[in-house]
Chains A and B, each alone.
Chain A
Amino acid sequence: METLQTYLPDFFFLILGLVLFLYMVTDGYNLGVGIFSLAARREEERGVMIHSIASTWHASQTWLVILGGILFGSFPVVYGVAMSALYVPVMLMLAGLAFRGVAIEFYDESPNRARWGLAFGLGSLVATIAQGFTLGGLLSGMPVANGQFAGGFGDWLNPFSALIAVGGAAGFVLLGTTYLAMKTDGALRERSIRAAVMAAWAVLAGLSVILLWMSLQYYEGRYSLLSLRQGRYIYFTLPIFLFEFAMLLRSLKKAEQDKPFQWSVLLFLTLVVGLAAALYPTAVPPSLTIFDAAAPARSLWFLFFVSAVLLPVMLAYNAWQYLVFRGKAGEGPQEGKAEN
C-alpha cells in the first residue's frame, strides 16, 4: 500500500486526463453542432441539428461536472488556484452553457423556435471560446504563492490563450460536423462534410501557429509549455497526429459514414495524450506539480475506490445510451423513430 500510495497523484492525473478527453469529445461535438447551427440555412435544418443531440447532451455536459468534482476532490489547491485565476472565462463559459442547454430543452416547446435556435448557436459559441480561454489561460502559466493564485484576474487574456480558443473552436466544429455527417442525410450531410474539411484545415493551421508561438517563446527564453521538463514530448505526437489528419481527409473525401467522426475523436485523443505527456507532472504551469497539489493520501484513497468502482459503470451505461439512440436523427424529436 505504501508504494502504491505514492502513485495516487499519478492515477488522478491520468483519470483527469481521461475525463477531460471524454468531455472534450462528447460535449465538443454538441458545441460544434451548436456553432455550425449558426450557419443553418433553414429553421428545419437547425431543428434536425438540435434533435440529433437532444438525448445525449446531458450526459456530455456531466463529464464537465465530473471533471470539476474529481479535480476538486483530488487536487483541491489546483481547483482553487485555477478557478480563481480563470474566474472571468469560467463565468462566461457557464453563461454560454446555460443558454445552450436551456435552448435545447425549450426548442420544441417554444412558439418562437428561431429565437431559441439562435440562443443554442450563440450559447455554444460563447461556451466554446470561453473554454478555449480557460484551457489557454491555465497553460499560459499562473503564479502561485501559499497555495493561492498570485497573478492578475486578466492574465488569462493573452495571445496564446486566444490562439487556443480559436483552434479549439475549429476542433469542436470538426467534431460537430463529422458527427452530423454520421447522424444526418441529404443536403445537410453534404454541407457538414464540406464544413468538416475546412474545419480540419483550420485545426491544422491553428495547431501549427500554436506550436510556432510556443517554440518562439521558448527560444526567446520565456515560459511556454515547451520549457516544462517534458515539454518537448509534444513533438512526438506530431507524426501520429499528421497520420490521423491524412486519414480524416481521406474519409471525408470518400464521404464515409462514421469514419470521419472516429478519426476526429482520435485526433483529440492524440492531442490530449500529447498535452498530458508534456505537462506531467505539472498541474499548474509553470511550477505547481501534482505532488504539491494533491489532497492527503487518505482522501485520495477514498476517491480512488469511489472512481474505480463507478467510472466503469458510468462508461457502460453511457455506451448503452449511445446504442439506444444510434442511427440517423429525424426532423422531429428522436422518439418518433421506432424502427429499431
Chain B
Amino acid sequence: MDTLFDSVMLSRLQFAAMAMVHISFSVITIGLALFIAVMEGLWLKTKDPVYYGHARFWSRLLLLNFGIGVVTGLPLEFAFGNNWAPFAAKSTFFGEILGTETLSAFMLEAGFLGIMIFGWNRVPPKLHFFATCMVVAGSSLSVFWIMVANSWMQTPAGVVLQDGRLILTSYREAIFNPDMVFGFTHMYVACLETSLFVIGGISAWYVLRRRHAEFFTRSFQVALIAAAVIAPLQALIGDETGRYVARHQPTKLAAMEAHWDTNPPGEGAAWIIAAWPDEANQKNVWSVEVPYVLSLLLTHSPSGEVKGLKEFPKDEHPPVLITFYTFRVMVIAGFAFVGLALWTLWRWKKGALTAARLPGEKWLLYAWIAAGPLAWAAVEGGWVTREVGRQPWLAYGLVKTSEAATPLPAGVVAASLAGYLLVAGLLAAAFLALAARVLAQGPDAATMAPPQTKTAAD
C-alpha cells in the first residue's frame, strides 16, 4: 500500500499545485474585468477620455492574465477524471455542477472576451460595453459555481451515502449547503479585494515615479473608494465564515487554531497567536495565547465551548501546522488591508490624494505597492487553510480523499507533477516578465484616445 499512498499524496500535491497556480490568475481576471467594466461605464456616462484610457490600458494586462488563467484552469477540470476518477463515479452532484459551470459561465466569458479585447473599433461603444459586462458576468458566475461545488465538499448536504455512492436527495440542500453562502461571498470578495490592491499598487507605482501621475491618480482613487468598503466587509465576512467552520467543520477549526483540548465548562478557550504544534503528541510545544478570546470570537461568550482536536479520532485530523500558519497569513493580511484602507481614507480627508499632492505621499504609496503581493499571499493562505483543513476528507465526513484517488502508478504522477511545475513555472515567469514590460511601457498614446467619430455620433 506504500506505493498507493505515495500516488495519492502525489495526486494531492499535484491538485494543490494546479489550484494554487490557477487561483493566482483567476482572482485577478475576475476583479480586473469588473474594474474595466466600471471604467468603461464611467466613460460612457461622463465621456471623460481618462476612463476610456483606463479601460484600454488595463485590458492589455487582462489579456495576458486571462491567457495563462485559462490554460492553468483546464488541467483542474481534467484532474477530476485523471487523478480522482473514483470521486467522479461516487458523486454525480459534483460533475453536474461542474458541467453547469462550463455551460453557463466559461463560454460566456470566452465568447465575449474577443469582442471586449479586439472589438473596440468593430462594434458601437454600447455594444462593446455589453460584451465587457458579459465577460464580468461569466467570470463571476464561474466563481459562483465553483464555490457551490467546493462548498459542497466542505459541508456536503442533500446527499445520502448508499453502497459507497453519494445519492442526491435534494438539489436545494446540496446547492445551498451550509458553507455555500459565506464560502462564495468570502471568495468573491477576495477576488475583488486582491484585484483592487493589485490595481491600486500598480497605480501607486506610477504615481510614485511621477509617470502619468494624473492618469493613475484616477485609478488609485477608484481602487481606494472600493477598498475602503471591501476591506472591512471582508473582515466581517471572514469572521462569520469562521463561526460556520466551527459549527460544521470542527476539526478544521481546531487545526486552524491549534486548539487540542476542549475548554472545560466555565472556562474560556484561549486564542493562540503563535505556536509550534506537535501533531504526533497532539499538543503545542510552545504557544503564545490570549485567554478567553477564542470562545469570545466563536461563541460570543467568554466561556463558550470550542471543541479541541483531541475530541476526534486521530485519523480524522487535518495537518495542523500548515492550516494554522496559512490561516494566520490570511488573517494578518486582512487586518493589514483594513488598516491601509483607513490610513488612506485619513490622508484623503487631509486633502493629500489630489493629483498634485499624491506623488508626495511616499510611505502610503509604498504600502499600496506592497499590498498587491500581500493580497496574493492572503488568497493562497486562505485557500490552503480551506482545503488542507478539509483533510482527510474529500467530502467532509462522508468520503475520504484516499478513497477517491485513481490508483495511478506513483511514477506517472510524479512525472506529471514535475512536468506541470516546469511548464507552469516557465509560463508564470514569462507572464511576470511580460506584465513588467507592459507596465514599463505604460499607457500607449495610440489606443488611449476614444474613437472620435463614434463618440460624437453617440
Contact = CB atoms under 8 A, between A and B. Distances in A.
B122 A72 contact: no
B423 A84 contact: no
A129 B103 CA distance: 27
Interface in A38-79: 54-56, 58-59, 61-62, 64-66, 68-70, 72-74, 76-77, 79
A321 B89 CA distance: 37
A334 B63 CA distance: 14
Interface stretch (A146-154, A173-181, A215-223): A146-154
Given A58-B114, A318-B107, A295 B95 contact: yes
Contacts of B108: 314, 317
B103 A66 contact: yes
Instruction: Pick the most buried of B80, B89, B93, B109: most chain A CB atoms within 10 A of its CB.
Output: B89
B408 interface: yes
B129 interface: no
A102 B77 contact: no
A303 B60 contact: no
Q: Is the interface of A mostly helix, strand, loop or mixed?
A: helix
A9 to B, nearest CB: 13
A62 B95 contact: no
Nearest to A305: B100
B168 A310 contact: no
A80 interface: yes
A13 to B, nearest CB: 15
Contacts of B60: 109
Contact of B85 (A54, A81, A109, A324): A81
Contact of B111 (A73, A99, A302, A317): A317
B107 A69 contact: no
Given A87-B412, A299-B168, A102 B107 contact: no
A314 B121 CA distance: 23
A314 B103 contact: yes
Q: Is the interface of B mostly helix, strand, loop or mixed?
A: helix
A66 B107 contact: yes
B20 to A, nearest CB: 16
Contact of A90 (B82, B110, B168, B431): B82
B88 A311 contact: no
Contact of A72 (B88, B119, B419): B88
Contact of B122 (A65, A70, A296, A338): A338
Give the size category of A's interface with B: 35 or more
B96 A61 contact: no
B168 A79 contact: no
Given A302-B96, A307-B103, A333 B118 contact: yes
Contacts of B107: 59, 62, 66, 314, 317-318
Interface residues of B, number: 71
A93 to B, nearest CB: 9
Interface in B81-98: 81-83, 85-89, 92-93, 95-98
A321 B102 CA distance: 18
A150 B298 CA distance: 48
Instruction: Pick the most buried of A98, A298, A321, A334: most chain B CB atoms within 10 A of its CB.
Output: A98
Interface stretch (B66-74, B281-289, B331-339, B341-349): B66-74
B370 interface: no
Contact of A73 (B98, B123, B406): B98
Interface in A280-318: 295-296, 298-299, 302-303, 306-307, 310-311, 314, 317-318
B122 A335 contact: yes
13 contacts: A55-B114, A70-B103, A80-B87, A83-B78, A90-B82, A106-B430, A106-B431, A296-B92, A296-B168, A310-B103, A314-B108, A334-B118, A338-B121
Interface of B: 60, 63-64, 66-68, 70-72, 74-75, 77-78, 80-83, 85-89, 92-93, 95-104, 106-115, 117-123, 134, 167-168, 171, 406, 408-409, 412, 416, 419-420, 423-424, 427, 430-431, 434, 437-438, 451
A-B pairs with lowest CB-CB distance, top 4: A83-B81, A73-B99, A105-B67, A69-B102
Given A61-B110, A91-B416, 16 more contacts: A54-B118, A61-B74, A68-B77, A80-B406, A83-B80, A87-B416, A88-B412, A105-B68, A109-B437, A110-B434, A296-B168, A310-B103, A317-B108, A321-B112, A334-B122, A336-B121
